[in-house]
Structure 1
Amino acid sequence: MASKNFFLVGDDVSTTQSILVPPTYGPDELKRAVARHFHIVQPSGVSFHTSYGSINTVSDVLDANEPIGIRIDNQAVREPDGPEGLPIVGSFYEIFPDHLGNHTRLFRQYGGLIKTTNMGKTNYLTDDPEIAAVALNESIYFSKKINEDHPLWGVKDNIATFVGDTETETWRLSHKFLPTSMGPKAVRHYAPLIQETVRRSFAVFDAFAESGRSWNGYQYMVKLASETIGKVILGQNFGHLVNADAPFHPIPLSILTMFQLNKRVASRGAWYQNLPFGDPKKLRETHKLCYALIEGIVSDIETSDTAMPKMPMAEAALKASNLVEYLIKGTDEKGETFPRSMIVPNIVMLTSAGFTTTASLLSWLIYSVTEHPGNQERLLQELVNNGISETTEWSVDLVSKLSFLDKFVKETQRLHNPAFQPARTAKTDVIVPGGYRLKADSVVVCALHSLHTNPNHWHDPSQFDPDRWDTAEVKGRHRGMYLPFATGPRGCIGFNFALLEAKIIFSELIYRYEFIRDGSENVQYDPEFQLVRPLNLYVDLVIRHKRLVHATQSHQEREQYETRGDPRHISSENTLVPDEHTRTSASNQPLAPWTNGTYATPNSSLEETLNEPASLPLMIQGGDPMQDFATFLESIGLSEQWESEGLPSMEQWIFPTDSAVAPQAGLKDAVPNEFDSEDRSLQNHTAEEALFSNFGSRLPSLQPDGSEAENRLQSSADTIRLHSIHNISESQYRSFLNTIDGFHRVLPKGFAPPSKYALSRFLHGFIDGLNEHLPFIHSPTLHIESCNSALVLAIAACGSQYRFETSQGVQLFYAARAIVLETMKQKGFGIQAGYTNSAQCNSPAAAFPSNFLPGAAAEDNFDETVEIIQTLLLLIIYATWGNNGTIAQELGFLDNTLASLVRAHGLNEPPQSFDLMDDSNDVNWHTWVSRELNRRTKFVAYCFLNLHCLMYNTPPLLLNADLGLDMPCSNALWSAQNANEWRLAYESVGKRSNISFQRSFASLFSKGELSATDETPSTALGNHILLHALFQQLYFARQLCLFPLDHDHQAREITGLDAVLRTWKSRWKDTPESSTDPRNPAGPIAFTSAALLGQIYVRIQVDLGPHRALMTRDPSTIARALVNAPQTIVRGPGLITALLHAVHALSIPVQLGIDFVARTHSFYWSVQHCLAAVEYAHLLTRWLLALPGPTEPSRHERMLFLWITRLLDETEHGIRVPMENRLNLIQNLDTGRQLSISIIRVWARIFNGNTSWEIVDVVSASLKAYADLLEQSWS
């Protein structure tokens, strides 16, 4: 092991330091070792240099005969530069009073990290995304340590969040309790309170509109935001909305005073802070007053007779009437509550940050909507399009549908973010990106305004453009470019609530009022306030229904408005808002409140909202899996336009309009208004929108009319034609027979080759059937006269299954097997006479000759070996999905042989990338096909061996870590029928490099966006591969678990896949080829992925893998294994998602018709669906039997119970009980047993007969036997 001398370029060469460099190091390992030694934050930026130039390899480093210089991002190491400053005051006058503008000026002058001094304090400011990201994410190099240079030094309190050091026990306690109370599940409960608060404010704003008075935007947004926060955190009504002139409550007033005084005092240095007079004294007194006021509220809640009992904090977050009560009564896993001494400081900070940031954001939203014409109309139109009305019940889910609102808020935060100086402190001497050296305890301040408007990273950064958030440039941005809530462990824990509050309030105001700026002077921000707030934002309001219904302006008034250019004068003919007499929904309900009636305002408190009786069916919103049905479909990649195809909604399934089965009014009234809103929204979609949806309909009609089919084919760039192989010519057939004849000595006795017509029939069956589900055979270039005869026979064997000629398939299987094994033996692939001993193929190096290993084979040998791999893969598919016990016994040998062959052939991309050559299109096409075919073959082999893991609970033979391949291409490229068609497709989408599997898989865990313009987007096959990789991750997580998963949260923590699956679903939805139409022109792979996704969700909850006995192929044995599987099931929030997938899967064939699906869908449904059905049926059975337990069924469970009973009404297994009485049976054990057996029998019938593969019949018979055994044991 050699020792080499390194030094930092920029330092003297005499500062060299010795580092051991093992010769086994790769370049990245060396960079990491050097970075650790020199405290360089980002190893990827390290480069090595000598007097001869840069060196790039470890061997070059080891061969260097002189000290090696280190550059970071190709820069010499240097100290940050900045304005020289004046004595004592330093850079004060270089920065204040316009610190936002001056920051930007200084960055342009001195670079991405600048040094500033102010009254003895030194800060380092950055507008570089790389530096901001590494500082805020914290590490061994950075933390939030509030020292004397830190902007928050004047208000430091280590007991309180936001203003305390990170590495303290109090911070860990705060971040143990507080995030639970502000997480997505808790935040969803706040929507009704926010809605109630903003609607109470209408009395104030209506008064301004009626009187024509302008008002200070920030002042009244403070009143509105603090009114909400007062209830959520303190349970207090501040009285800000009693009337327009209501005074400020002392608590928010004292907080605003502290924010102003702290900025003013802190900016003047440490000497100023301790003065016994002036602002420092006032700050201390205000601080003391605020703490005393909140201490009184905490004490009152603590001693209240109505306070709830102590309970786990996850439960307390959903039941507490306010945050103070949560902190008092919530307990951790040890049963301990939040320390009493820490409650008041943390409540002060949460209250302060809660309303001040939201008030500033709302003010800047009002500024943006008045400053940039056209956006107000777009916002209003989006609300109308989504069915928003004066009676809309807001929810997290409804807010998430407002895509333009989201972009508008983001763009406003980019230019006018309330917070502007999050800071972190260096824990040691460190070198950050760009080569800047910082000493220990240096404070790095992220100048968010400059960061968000950095022209090196944002196009036209000063332009207000909400649509920039749809561009690939912004979607693929660096993670440090946009940090409105900071990031890392000290990122804002309340951002979920802040965005929900701002979006609901702003939407309600936009819907009711038109905002008009009063005056034309520039709006100024306050340079002496802790946040960025507008000082002189004055606005007028016009109530929208006044404009539309009461045109009371005189001609003279209108002329004056036009002369002044007053935007209030807009004719009703040109408005986006419909007239009440002409624009109504299909149900004759007005789409907006165009009348002058009294506005209905809810009066319920937060406590009443959270503790109201659990009416049904109620959908809880937010991060909860039980969203409204349309959003649930969207969350698993299904269409949001499913109703446009004539399918009823979930609510209609449970509550049909038929009076014979309609429930009583009391129950029906409990259906949330989101359903009505969604109905109206869906009716506004045009037929074209439904037709050209990327997601397709949830369940397509089986025989679309010609125009629909034609339009579907023209609607997607990824459209493919139905594959067709030319009729086999006589010469081709003779050539095929001659090739087979060369293996007559090893062919099974009595084997007769298929006739020309049978062979053609079987090949078509394969291409139209199996190859649609597993597309790794390239049919346009498949020629039977030139490819391996074993491959042709294997294709024919599988294709015979799709022509229901099973006996022919068995003969073809044995013939293909004999030829491929003989071929491998002749080529020295380690296949001996006793080839059935799989141990002989366990070692790739021993099994295959040296000239076969990657890099040593000629191109012809390469293609021939891929054909052998394809043949083995097809034989494995046939043995797995058929029902021949003798053939199935060879799976172990075939699996090991395939895995060994794939490994030996190589799971990495060729060293040379594909580029178009000057040759003909035909040459380019065949070269490209060879690479893509190799890639797809190995990926499908990986997936199918993974499927064996799923079916038989055997370890996967190809691991995620083995795959060094790029992801497969799009269907447009793969399915091109000739070279010219391929060239056109390649030039439009193929020039971008394919993303590697490893990077794509890693991005699911890192939430990275894959939208770079130089890489191909996701494909349906690629997404399917990633889902198999996630299943493998789950399998090994289960194997490593040393104790039973007794609790719902344990299952989710052990597997860690909840967030990853959400990322996968988002990727699925963004994929152009994605559709759950099994007849999708791009193939049914995306439809199959939906089944695998549901199966993974089920496996997270119940690991049925070891208890299915599918290997036996015996229905009785499989049924007994299911009966004897573990009976326990953990009911909890995590189970709901799995149950939704299980019930939704059942609803598809029920709604289409069970017998209809059983007899017509064998081509469309893959075997994956029947395998998933076993787990769905078992899960629902165990859940239904667990409902009579001591725990009351949740709202979600009651909803699912009703849905199941309504679905079974469509079969002969329905329960003959009126809908309104069915909830009385939810904890009846006999009812649970009856429903369980019914569900199993329905699935058994769906997969009974008329299937291409016998394994489906085995599953059907096993489910029937399972139901029989349960029925016998319960009778």
Structure 2
Amino acid sequence: MDYSWLATLLRVLLLFVAPLVFLTYKSLKHFKFVSIVDRIPGPWALPLIGNAPLMMRLSLSEMFQFMSTNAFTEFGHRVRFWLVDQPHVMITKASDCEKIMKGMQHHMKSLNYDLMLKEWMGEGLLTSKDDKWRVHRKILTPAFHFNILHEFLPILSKNSKILVEQLSQLPEYKSGKDFNIFDTVSLCALDIICESSMGTVINAQRSSQSPYVQTVNKLNELIALKYFSPRLRFNIFYKFSKVKRDTDYHLKVSADFTDKVIRERRQYLNSLRKENEAGREGEKKHLAFLDMLLDAEMRGEKYMTDKDLRDQVSTFMFEGHDTVTTGTCWALFMLGTHPEIQEKVVEELDQVFGDTGRAPTINDIAELKLLERCVKESQRLYPSVPFYQRHLREDAVLDDGTVIPAGCSVGFSVYRVHRDPEQYPDPEKFDPDRFLPENAASRHPYAYLPFSAGPRNCIGQKFALMEEKVVISTMLRKFRVEAAHKPEDAELQMSMVLRPKNGLRIRLYERTSHPHLAMQD
């Protein structure tokens, strides 16, 4: 008997049944995933588009208020959001942060970092993962050792002095009017990071119209536009947008500039090596971070491709520019808001520098303990990066049994973590003594996160703190700073860094009560 018809029937059934079984399995798996995620409290979300309608109707200022305060007031210390079909869980407790940050189990950065930063930074230290991250972190760590960092002090001092000169020439300073401190400090930070990371002097403070200066500033703006626009999160809309065209243009300017610097620094290091081999060792010059990587490559010890080098330099430029600018400006503003603390800092400067007017040494910077506490307290209240994220490839089980399933992004609301009254009594008060050793010892180790924590903490945090102390101390030796508005009047908004919509406005006055502290030529 011919049973070929049965084989044909089975093939037809399999053709229809197999996809149905597969789709059923995927649907049940997704339903289970969604049900676990939705056990975490959060705003009501629509199928497929999630909380996009809520986000789209909020301004950037309203979004910051909701994501930093209102959502947690309504739903508790963990809040779940759906951005389109992607679940995000925001956490605000130090113990929860530790669970995610402490080891390498959940070290992968959120997929949103690809959306925001990968075009510019490729697979630099901020965005890379797994073996590539481990190898590059190991290569880069020696470049940020304390014994290396102190060699950059002359660069910090030189550019801080230029900043004071530029501020002294502002019409607002001469007339006693207020101005936005971000504008001038940003250029100083850009000069410092270019010279320290690439060994290249761009004179941003004296030539703010240079193409590279404009490109770095524009890329920061374009990244924020892309990330916080629900429409541009879809590649089909982004691909044909003006934001994409502008981004491509500025990425090329940045890449061309960085590649040129890499070529020139290779030639420079080769010439130094030849001079040394010939016994004609010239004047010793400070090596930039890039030089250290190239020098290791030339010795055959460690290797990075030109793209790897460009990605790391771009990462330095992003992390060492806007973040340090933001931290410096908030610290100055808070000292201008609290003149009694500012005067104590000046007394400390007087004790360290006397009437010499000299540039700071590394020992001087270590002695500025009150200033350091002021910087840390400013970063507590106004962290340069108020939110960051990880992507879970495995389930995370928190202390109370709550499960955040694999596939979620976990967001750390640093702004809110730093205002936890259990860790910081009277959290809105500016109190630098919170960071006295005896006061800090009793706090949870993950209650202070301006530079992240755990294995993926910021590799440049010591450099950033040193830079902020040099810039601020140089300014306070010349000027008395006065805040032109209250901190609560600063309109905070969702952005890559905590830069208020209209900046931070201050007034500067020549420090006549301590004239010997003014920096000498």
Q: Which runs of 5+ in 2 are unaligned?
A: 1-35, 277-283
Which residue type is aligned with residue 509 of structure 2? V
Which residue type is aligned with residue 160 of structure 1? E
Give, in angstroms, the shift of residue 405 of structure 1: 0.8
Q: Please say if 1:441 is aligned against 2:442.
A: no
Deviations 1:174-195 (A, max 9, x none): 2122121122111011112211
Counterpart of 1:257 (choices 207, 215, 218) is 218
Q: Please say if 1:599 is aligned against 2:511.
A: no
Structure ID, larger Rg: 1
1:247 is aligned to: 208
Give, in angstroms, the shift of residue 522 of structure 1: 5.3
The verdict on how the C-alpha distance between 1:119 and 1:249 changes in structure 2, with shifts beyond 3 A counting, is farther
Give, in angstroms, the shift of residue 490 of structure 1: 1.4
1:18 is aligned to: none
Give, in angstroms, the shift of residue 378 of structure 1: 1.0
8 Å CA contact 1:523–1:536 kept in 2: the answer is no
Counterpart of 2:134 (choices 160, 169, 172) is 172
Distance across 2 between alignment mates of 1:83 and 1:489: 32
Name the TM-score, length of structure 2 as normaliser.
0.82
8 Å CA contact 2:63–2:494 kept in 1: the answer is no
The verdict on how the C-alpha distance between 1:488 and 1:90 changes in structure 2, with shifts beyond 3 A counting, is farther
Counterpart of 2:160 (choices 198, 206, 214) is 198
The verdict on how the C-alpha distance between 1:388 and 1:236 changes in structure 2, with shifts beyond 3 A counting, is farther
8 Å CA contact 2:392–2:408 kept in 1: the answer is yes
Counterpart of 1:117 (choices 56, 66, 82) is 82
Distance across 1 between alignment mates of 2:215 and 2:319: 13
> Secondary structure in 2 aligned to 1:168?
helix
Distance across 2 between alignment mates of 1:81 and 1:521: 31
8 Å CA contact 1:399–1:503 kept in 2: the answer is yes
Counterpart of 1:501 (choices 434, 459, 467) is 467
Mapping 1:1081-1230, distance limit 5 Å:
none
Q: Please say if 1:541 is aligned against 2:508.
A: yes
Which residue type is aligned with residue 83 of structure 1? P
Identity over aligned residues, as a percent? 18
Q: Please say if 1:156 is aligned against 2:118.
A: yes
The verdict on how the C-alpha distance between 1:307 and 1:409 changes in structure 2, with shifts beyond 3 A counting, is farther
Q: Please say if 1:135 is aligned against 2:100.
A: yes
Distance across 1 between alignment mates of 2:107 and 2:53: 26
> Secondary structure in 2 aligned to 1:98?
helix
Which residue type is aligned with residue 232 of structure 1? S
> Secondary structure in 2 aligned to 1:533?
coil
Distance across 2 between alignment mates of 1:286 and 1:441: 33
Deviations 1:488-522 (A, max 9, x none): 22111111110000001101101110112345695
8 Å CA contact 1:370–1:515 kept in 2: the answer is yes
Q: Which runs of 5+ in 1 are unaligned?
A: 1-75, 312-317, 549-576, 581-591, 601-1275
Give, in angstroms, the shift of residue 241 of structure 1: 3.2
Mapping 1:545-694, distance limit 5 Å:
547-548=512-513, 577=514, 592-593=516-517, 599-600=520-521
Give, in angstroms, the shift of residue 541 of structure 1: 1.5
Mapping 1:841-1240, distance limit 5 Å:
none
8 Å CA contact 2:212–2:254 kept in 1: the answer is yes
Give, in angstroms, the shift of residue 360 of structure 1: 0.7
Deviations 1:987-1025 (A, max 9, x none): xxxxxxxxxxxxxxxxxxxxxxxxxxxxxxxxxxxxxxx
Q: Please say if 1:219 is aligned against 2:183.
A: yes
Q: Please say if 1:79 is aligned against 2:39.
A: yes
Deviations 1:749-785 (A, max 9, x none): xxxxxxxxxxxxxxxxxxxxxxxxxxxxxxxxxxxxx
Counterpart of 1:424 (choices 375, 381, 390) is 390
Give, in angstroms, the shift of residue 525 of structure 1: 4.7
The verdict on how the C-alpha distance between 1:593 and 1:350 changes in structure 2, with shifts beyond 3 A counting, is closer
> Secondary structure in 1 aligned to 2:481?
strand
Deviations 1:186-221 (A, max 9, x none): 101111221121112232122233354543201111
8 Å CA contact 1:125–1:446 kept in 2: the answer is yes
8 Å CA contact 1:301–1:307 kept in 2: the answer is no
Deviations 1:603-648 (A, max 9, x none): xxxxxxxxxxxxxxxxxxxxxxxxxxxxxxxxxxxxxxxxxxxxxx
Deviations 1:323-342 (A, max 9, x none): 22222222499634333231
Q: Please say if 1:482 is aligned against 2:448.
A: yes
Name the TM-score, length of structure 1 as normaliser.
0.35
1:302 is aligned to: 266
Give, in angstroms, the shift of residue 388 of structure 1: 4.4
Which residue type is aligned with residue 142 of structure 2? T
2:478 is aligned to: 512
Q: How many residues align?
A: 466
> Secondary structure in 2 aligned to 1:374?
helix
Give, in angstroms, the shift of residue 419 of structure 1: 1.0
Distance across 1 between alignment mates of 2:161 and 2:65: 37
Q: Please say if 1:101 is aligned against 2:65.
A: yes
Q: Please say if 1:228 is aligned against 2:192.
A: yes
Which residue type is aligned with residue 166 of structure 1? K
Which residue type is aligned with residue 156 of structure 1? K
8 Å CA contact 2:37–2:80 kept in 1: the answer is no
Give, in angstroms, the shift of residue 380 of structure 1: 0.4
Counterpart of 2:334 (choices 368, 382, 385) is 368
Give, in angstroms, the shift of residue 363 of structure 1: 0.8
Give, in angstroms, the shift of residue 122 of structure 1: 2.4
Which residue type is aligned with residue 346 of structure 1? Q
Which residue type is aligned with residue 109 of structure 1? E
> Secondary structure in 2 aligned to 1:123?
strand
1:186 is aligned to: 148
Mapping 1:457-468, distance limit 5 Å:
457-468=423-434
